[in-house]
Structure 1
Amino acid sequence: MAEPNPQVPPEALAPDFQADIERLYQLTVLARWSVVAGLWLTIGSLSLWGVRFHLWLMWQHFTWSALRYTLLLNKLSAIGLMTCTLMTLSVLLWQSRNILFGRAPEEQERLHQQLLRIKQQGQGHPLWRWLYGPQKTVL
């Protein structure tokens, strides 16, 4: 019989532990998309409101020059829209990479350590309720 690997804790091999890591990963995905939605609902909508007249003009006759000058004349709105767009792209690329190539070992280790901290802190941790609910107890 092969000896267990001393680098891998025994609880990491349990199916429940892997399911908990998967639930924590899903919470991470949900949190990232929630941040993106919140950005678009606050900063994005305010930025679009700031350029509403220019958008109406571009709706009539769009040119790349009109878009360029709209963003140059309204720097605060341009920064807000760029922030929202870049955050959306970064989350999209992060999730696509995880779907296509699997999670990176560093990220898997981070999830593992975070789950151990959550279990150690117990019901006092804010994510405990999301991972285990009120009915499930973890030893």
Structure 2
Amino acid sequence: MIDSQLSRAEDPELAVQVQRLHQLKVCTRWLGVIISWLVVIPFVTWQLQEEIALMRDHFTLAAVRYALIFNPISAIAISWCLGLTTAVLLWQSGNILFGFSSRYRHQLEKQVRRIRRRGKSHVFWRWVIGSKNQ
């Protein structure tokens, strides 16, 4: 903990770059969630089109249960999307409410240093380090 405080005191740009890297991680996770929903849901609706037509007439929990039990691939696909969305929501909420854990902050600082060492050839250089040295 003392080492990380000293490194932040010696390098004030590190905190800004750590925050940028965290924002990049948040955006990529939400992009993954959106892509997952956009890819999976059309497949699920296609597989469940007969059940959806029945549910439009008589929507009950039994109809939903029937649709999911007798279409396990669709149930797994919906569970995947819901689970991924819930995981990202909980991760981001924890970071907002409680801040970064010391372990997570250390990992981010380590990644920022790795990006700095690699230079402009690193994929995240432009987003994390910025246009200062370009």
Give the structure-2-normalised TM-score.
Answer: 0.89
Point out the more displaced range, 9-18 or 26-35. Answer: 9-18
1:22 to 19, 43, 50: 19
Task: State the distance in 1 between where 2:111 and 2:56 align.
Answer: 48
C-alpha deviation, 1:35, in angstroms: 0.4
Residue 68 of structure 2 is matched in structure 1 by 71
Indicate if the aligned counterparts of 2:4 and 2:106 stay in contact, CA closer than 8 A: no
1:53 to 32, 50, 55: 50
Count, aligned residues: 132
Residue 84 of structure 1 is matched in structure 2 by 81
C-alpha deviation, 1:131, in angstroms: 1.8
Task: State the distance in 1 between where 2:98 and 2:5 align.
Answer: 25
Residue 132 of structure 1 is matched in structure 2 by 129
Task: State the distance in 2 between where 1:103 and 1:52 align.
Answer: 44
1:12 to 8, 13, 27: 8
In structure 2, do the counterparts of structure 1 residues 94 and 43 end up closer, same or farther at CA, with 3 Å as the change threshold?
Answer: same
Task: State the distance in 2 between where 1:26 and 1:45 align.
Answer: 29
Task: State the distance in 1 between where 2:86 and 2:29 align.
Answer: 12
Task: State the distance in 2 between where 1:62 and 1:104 align.
Answer: 45
Where in structure 1 are there 5+ consecutive unaligned residues? Answer: none
Residue 100 of structure 1 is matched in structure 2 by 97
Q: Higher relative CO (CA 8 A, sep ≥ 6), structure 1 or 2? A: 2
2:59 to 49, 58, 62: 62
Task: State the distance in 2 between where 1:106 and 1:60 align.
Answer: 52
Task: State the distance in 1 between where 2:44 and 2:65 align.
Answer: 15
C-alpha deviation, 1:54, in angstroms: 1.0
Task: State the distance in 2 between where 1:122 and 1:10 align.
Answer: 23
1:17-66 deviation digits (Å, cap 9, x = unpaired): 10110000000000000000010011232122211221232132221111
**1:137 alignment partner AA:** N
Return the structure number with greater helix share: 2
Point out the more displaced range, 52-61 or 108-117. Answer: 52-61
